[in-house]
């Protein structure tokens, strides 16, 4: 089965037919019933690799945005979000993630490096050799901050 490949974009669609930044479309597989309903994301590893992000971070964002418990198992590379979520809802939330944490706010290209502060701090833009300031912190940015940067009490 061929996997759909789409443009990496944020809130606005990219109309350029020669756009070089591509990613696989997200897939959601609904499992269980009753209190055991969950949505498995079978291609989150390929998706996160194309965005140059950690699959656990992407999974955690889905949990925060959808108000559900999410888990990422490193050994089996399995991402699970509790509750049934449709693929279009997952794709729209993925576009929100890309808008907030992947795209450079200045040039709108996904050529930013690894995030320095939960995806919202300054990061080097590889395309224009500039530093992108990012947006002010959001509730999700505190959830997605790297473990070494969180202050533990």
pTM of the shown model? 0.76
Position 66 scores a pLDDT of 93
Position 152 scores a pLDDT of 44
Backbone φ and ψ of 45, nearest 5°: -65, -50
CA pair distance 44, 149, nearest whole angstrom = 24
CB 59 within 8 A of CB 81: yes
Position 128 scores a pLDDT of 53
Q: How far is Cα of residue 15 from the mean position of the Cα atoms in its chain?
A: 21
Position 109 scores a pLDDT of 85
Position 121 scores a pLDDT of 47
CB atoms within 10 A of CB 31: 11
CA pair distance 65, 74, nearest whole angstrom = 21
Record: fold of 5-103: Defensin A-like (3.30.30)
CB-based contacts of 114, cutoff 8 Å, min separation 6: 52, 123
Position 107 scores a pLDDT of 83
Position 96 scores a pLDDT of 93
CA pair distance 94, 25, nearest whole angstrom = 10
CA pair distance 23, 137, nearest whole angstrom = 26
CA pair distance 38, 80, nearest whole angstrom = 7
Residue ranges in the chain modelled with pLDDT below 70: 1-2, 112-153
Please name the helix (run of DSSP H) or strand (run of DSSP E) that holds residue 144, with its range, or none: none
- Note the pLDDT tens digit of each residue in 75-99: 999 999 999 999 999 999 999 999 9
């Amino acid at each position: 089965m061929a996997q759909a490949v789409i443009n990496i974009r944020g809130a606005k669609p990219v109309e350029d037919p020669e756009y070089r930044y591509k990613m696989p479309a997200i897939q959601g597989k609904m499992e269980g019933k009753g209190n055991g309903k969950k949505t498995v994301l079978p291609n989150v590893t390929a998706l996160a690799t194309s965005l140059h992000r950690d699959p656990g971070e992407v999974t955690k964002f889905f949990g925060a945005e959808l108000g559900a418990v999410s888990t990422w198992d490193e050994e089996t590379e399995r991402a699970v979000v509790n509750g049934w979520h449709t693929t279009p809802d997952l794709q729209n939330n993925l576009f929100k993630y890309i808008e907030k944490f992947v795209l450079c706010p200045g040039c709108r290209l996904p050529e930013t490096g690894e995030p320095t502060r939960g995806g919202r701090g300054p990061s080097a833009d590889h395309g224009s050799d500039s530093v992108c300031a990012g947006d002010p912190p959001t509730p999700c940015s505190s959830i997605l901050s790297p473990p070494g940067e969180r202050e533990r009490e």
